[in-house]
Amino acid sequence: MDKFVKFSGIAAPMPLINIDTDMLIPKQFLKTIKRTGLGENLFFEMRYDSNGSLIKDFILNKDHYSSASIIVAGDNFGCGSSREHAPWALKDFGIKCIISTSFADIFFNNCFKNGILPIILSDDDREVLMEDANIVENSHMTIDLDNQKIIRKEGDSIDFDVDEFKKYCLLNGLDDIGLTLKNSQKIAEFEKKYSEQFSWA
């Protein structure tokens, strides 16, 4: 996984609540056996009409926002299925950070595994950034994970919380499996004890 470095980019406002994984990437694109190439179909049904033409009004189809790397979103983003195709599609499109007041659990975890940073803010803070994102001139922001700050156009910033371990993995681009295998001794010891009590499992 690539290291998550401090970056600046355009934030797109998507105030709709409960943006679900079927909206992020509908099922006809889950038939792939690859992780890449899904960006084109991100938000497919909102982005294209039934003839396959771009729907001009959709935020990510607008000139300025088509190169967004941040989404400021409504509550409960990513609810629905466990499909990792959702973060794969976001990543492939170029989204590196999503800001909301809440995320669905599985989606939230899946983001970290793919180098995307989901940030949870209070309603008030999120609204400040939503307004920024709405105004083309203010929609540029900087995400500084190391210092846990979102830096606004004007230079002032909003702090955010992040789980220590997840932050460490993102910053260092670490692969979970490699980390876990370092504990293989502990796993083996656990299994030994466990298999005595839980032989039936």
Token reading at 33: 């056996």
> Is residue 22 near other proteins by the rule CB under 8 A?
yes
Specify the DSSP class assigned to residue 16.
-
Name the DSSP class of 42.
T
Q: Judged by CB under 8 A, which of 10, 106, 151, 171 binds other proteins?
A: 106
C-alpha to C-alpha distance for 40 and 47, rounded to whole angstroms: 10
Judged by CB under 8 A, the residue of 39, 58, 61, 113 near other proteins is 113
Q: How many residues bind other proteins (CB under 8 A)?
A: 56
Interaction of residue 110 with other proteins, rule CB under 8 A: yes
Cβ-based nearer residue to other proteins, 120 or 151: 120
Distance (Å, whole) CA 116 – CA 5: 11
- Residue from 18, 53, 67, 122 touching other proteins (CB under 8 A): that is 18
Evaluate whether 142 touches 117 at the Cβ level (below 8 Å).
no
| Interface with other proteins (CB under 8 A), residue from 73, 99, 104, 121 | 104
CA separation (Å) from 39 to 14, 79, 91, 98, 165? 17, 19, 7, 15, 28
Least distance in Å: CB of 44 to other proteins? Answer: 9
- Residue 136 CB neighbour total at 10 angstroms: 12
- Please tell me the distance from the alpha carbon of residue 106 to that of residue 36, in angstroms, as a whole number: 20
Q: By CB under 8 A, is residue 45 in contact with other proteins?
A: yes
Among 38, 43, 73, 102, binds other proteins (CB under 8 A): 102
Give residues 57-96 in contact with other proteins (rule: CB under 8 A): 74-76, 79-84, 87
Task: Give the type of residue at 186.
Answer: K
Q: Check binding of 109 to other proteins (CB under 8 A).
A: yes
Spell out the alpha helix ranges (H) of 35-150. Answer: 44-47, 85-93, 105-113, 123-134
The answer to the question of residue 33 lying near other proteins (CB under 8 A) is yes
User: What sign results for the dihedral spanned by CA atoms 139, 81, 16, 102?
Assistant: negative
Q: What residue ranges bind other proteins (CB under 8 A)? A: 15-18, 20, 22-23, 26-28, 30-35, 45, 50, 74-76, 79-84, 87, 102-106, 109-110, 113-114, 163-165, 176-177, 180-181, 183-184, 186-187, 190-191, 194, 197-201
